Amino acid sequence: MRGEKQPMKREMETRHGEIDVLRAFAIVLMVIFHLVYDLKQFAGVSIDYQSPFWFTIGRASALLFMFISGLSSGFSSAPFRRGLKVLSYGMLITVVTYLFMKDEYVRFGILHFLGVTMILSPLLLRLSSWTIWGLAGSSVVLGLWFKGQVLKTSLLLPFGLMYNGFGSIDYYPLFPYLAVTLLGILAYRHFYAQRTDPLFPFQLNSRLTKWLSRNSLGIYLLHQPLLLLIIFVTKHL
């Protein structure tokens, strides 16, 4: 089935303030959740990062990144190259966590997920909206079904099929989470693809928001080592 005709992709030379706000909000939520996790795991602070409140903060951050990735894919001129870059950083995190947290190292975390979906985005953008809706629904159904399946291999972990005893500090398989990225693509198509004027009549031009948004990947890669360094220094003062 041929997809709907898409306008020529364009970089966000005039940035959309609302997207910057969403990305900055996601990065702040992520840093807060990881700080709580580190305080519990490495500083012995009595705080339950698995409680509904903190769990929701951590999950909301990841879901926002997935949605924004789909939304931004329509603006990107080099999604394949960017996807490979993000995926390579994900593999670096796999190696580092394997060395320091062998039992729960990251096999397919948020960066792996985002890298793969960025690589797939040129194909997904060619699909019709109805097809994307169908894929989103199928992704959720498959994810729920896969959750109850247990295999003897780890090769299908990226799809949500786990093996007995599997554990990871960061795991976001394609099913069901691909649905969130697909919703982001639909949001781009509905709200941005045919627009030449801003979506909102006001502009959000906070320098801090723009900085957080533009440097979100670097912040993701560096914030954990910095948090752990601060905790280490504080404990030994």
Per the domain annotation, does 28 fall within a domain?
A: yes
Encoding tokens for residue 173?
A: 């398989």
**Percentage of the chain lying above the pLDDT 90 cut:** 73
Per the domain annotation, does 7 fall within a domain?
A: no
Per the domain annotation, does 52 fall within a domain?
A: yes
pLDDT over threshold 90, residue 6:
no
Q: Looking at residues 212-226, what average pLDDT do you find?
A: 94
Residue 13 has a pLDDT of 43
Distance CA 130, CA 189 (A): 12
**Mean pLDDT taken over the chain:** 89
Per the domain annotation, does 1 fall within a domain?
A: no
pTM of this prediction? Answer: 0.89
Encoding tokens for residue 106?
A: 């990251």
Residue 126 is part of which domain span? 17-194+202-235
Per the domain annotation, does 122 fall within a domain?
A: yes
- Residue carrying structure tokens 């030994």: 236
Q: Looking at residues 129-144, what average pLDDT do you find?
A: 97
DSSP 8-state secondary structure symbol assigned to residue 128: -
pLDDT band at 198 (very low <50, low <70, confident <90, very high): low
Question: What is Dmax (Cα atoms) for the chain?
Answer: 64
| Pick from 115-119, 165-169, 192-196: least confident | 192-196
Per the domain annotation, does 8 fall within a domain?
A: no
Alpha helices in 44-128, H assignment, sequence order: 52-73, 79-100, 110-125
Per the domain annotation, does 12 fall within a domain?
A: no
Residue 202 has a pLDDT of 62
pLDDT over threshold 50, residue 77:
yes
Per the domain annotation, does 2 fall within a domain?
A: no
pLDDT over threshold 60, residue 4:
no
Query: What's the domain count of the chain?
Result: 1
pLDDT band at 101 (very low <50, low <70, confident <90, very high): confident
